[in-house]
Structure 1
Amino acid sequence: MLAAPIPDNDKERLAALRALLILDTPPEERFDKIVQFAASEFDMPIALLSLIDENRQWFKANVGLDACETARDISFCGHAILQPDIFVIPDARADERFADNPIVTGEPYVIFYAGAPLKLASGFAVGTLCLIDHKPRQLDATEMAILTTLRDLLLEEMEAKHA
């Protein structure tokens, strides 16, 4: 398993995340609705609004997963925030970075992952809108566009809440 690298500017990224005043806050209907729509639209058993803190990924909105957070070092989202665009793993079992990851080999059995980085206007990616399935999948161009739009809606909500 390859843990996501920590970027050189992680201290500044974490400051931008904390400035949103969103970590460890109660569920909010507007975030929940977008994540629920994503799960339904893509027919995914799991969809998350995941925020990447120093040592964990915390789920602001969550469909299909009992946990409210997981360790950053095993997270797919920790990798996704380092990407310029949507990060897709069609079959994690066939990807040497993730094949022996405990969330692939055990609950919740992440096989397919697509994470759209939540990049603030400041340029810092603080989390992802992610889709997870227990079987291999792909996203076509239309689905990538829909995921991008949903990600943008979440970003607007996060930044409006902060303003």
Structure 2
Amino acid sequence: MIKAPLPHNEAKRLKALRDLVILDTPPEARFDRISSFAAREFNVPIALVSLVDQDRQWFKSSFGMEDMQETPRDISFCGHAVAMARTLVVPDALKDPRFADNPMVVGQPYIRFYAGALLRLPYGQVVGTLCIMDRRPRDFDRLDEAILGGLRDLVVEELFRREEAVS
């Protein structure tokens, strides 16, 4: 397993995440509707709104992994996406050296496929992903990426609306 590098703007990214005042808040239907729709649209068992904190990824919304609120950042797929600053697609995690021996690949929930679209706030900071996962390898084409990106945009709008309400 290869641990994700930190983004060059990690301090600003973490500040933007904390300024949202959303970490460790209760589930909200508006985010759950989006993750549920993503799971159905892509016919996958898992869809998450994942926020990447300093040492963990925390799930604002979780479809298919409701028993898990967070995971360590160093085993997260989303940490890699945030560091890359672009959509991350892993067609088969067992064939990717970054993830082949990851505990979430070789154990529960047995992730084989991952696609994560970045949650980039209007002022540029990436705070996490809207991601989908499957227990089998998959292909992911440009249309799939566009659909996931559209759903991601809905999540970002909700994050920004929430930030405006808190401010």
TM-score, L = length of structure 1: 0.97
Pair 1:16-2:16 in alignment: yes
Aligned-pair distance for 1:85? 2.7
Report deviation, 1:6.
1.2
1:159 aligned to 2:160?
yes
Q: Which amino acid aligns with 1:59?
A: F
**RMSD of aligned residue pairs (Cα, Å):** 0.9
Residue equivalent to 2:28 = 28
Could you list the runs of 5+ residues in structure 1 that have no partner in the other structure? Answer: none
Please report how far the alpha carbon of residue 7 of structure 1 lies from its aligned counterpart in structure 2 after TM superposition: 2.0
Write the letter of the residue equivalent to 1:52.
Answer: V
Question: Is 1:55 aligned with 2:55?
Answer: yes
Task: State how far apart, in whole Å, the 2-side matches of 1:123 and 1:5 are.
Answer: 19
Matching residue's letter, 2:56: R
Offset of residue 18 of structure 1: 0.4
Letter in 1 for 2:163: H
Find the aligned partners of 2:85 and 2:70 in 1 and give their Cα distance. Answer: 24
Deviation per residue, 1:33-85 (Å, 9 max, x gap): 01100000100100000000000000000000121100000000000112343
Structure 2: 5+ residue runs without aligned partners? none
Q: Would the aligned equivalents of 2:91 and 2:112 in 1 still touch at CA under 8 Å?
A: yes
1:73 partnered with 2:74: yes
Establish whether residue 121 from structure 1 lines up as the match of residue 122 from structure 2: yes
Distance in 2, matches of 1:149 and 1:160, equals 17
Q: Deviations over 1:90-119 (max 9, x none)?
A: 000001111011111111111000000101
Cα contact 1:39–1:46 (8 A) shared by 2 = yes
Does the aligned pair in 1 maintain the 2:7–2:84 contact within 8 Å? no
> For the residues of structure 1 that align with 2:110 and 2:91, how far apart are their CA atoms?
13
How far does residue 121 in structure 1 lie from its aligned partner after superposition?
1.6
Q: Which residue of 2 aligns with 1:5?
A: 5
Equivalent position amino acid for 1:103 in 2: M
C-alpha offsets along residues 3-30 of structure 1, whole Å, 9 cap, x if unaligned?
A: 1111232111100000011110001110
Letter of the 1:150 partner, please give it: L
Q: Which amino acid aligns with 1:30?
A: R
Distance 2:13 2:141 in 1: 31
Cα distance in 2 between the residues matched to 1:83 and 1:139:
18
| SS of equivalent residue, structure 2 residue 110 | coil
Identity of aligned residues (%): 57
CA contact (8 A) 1:52 1:77 kept: yes
Give the distance between the partners of 1:139 and 1:48, measured in 2 at CA: 17
Inter-partner Cα distance in structure 1 for 2:121 and 2:153 = 10
State the 4+ residue runs in structure 1 displaced beyond 4 angstroms: none
1:130 pairs with 2:131: yes
Contact between 2:7 and 2:82, CA under 8 Å: does it hold in 1?
no
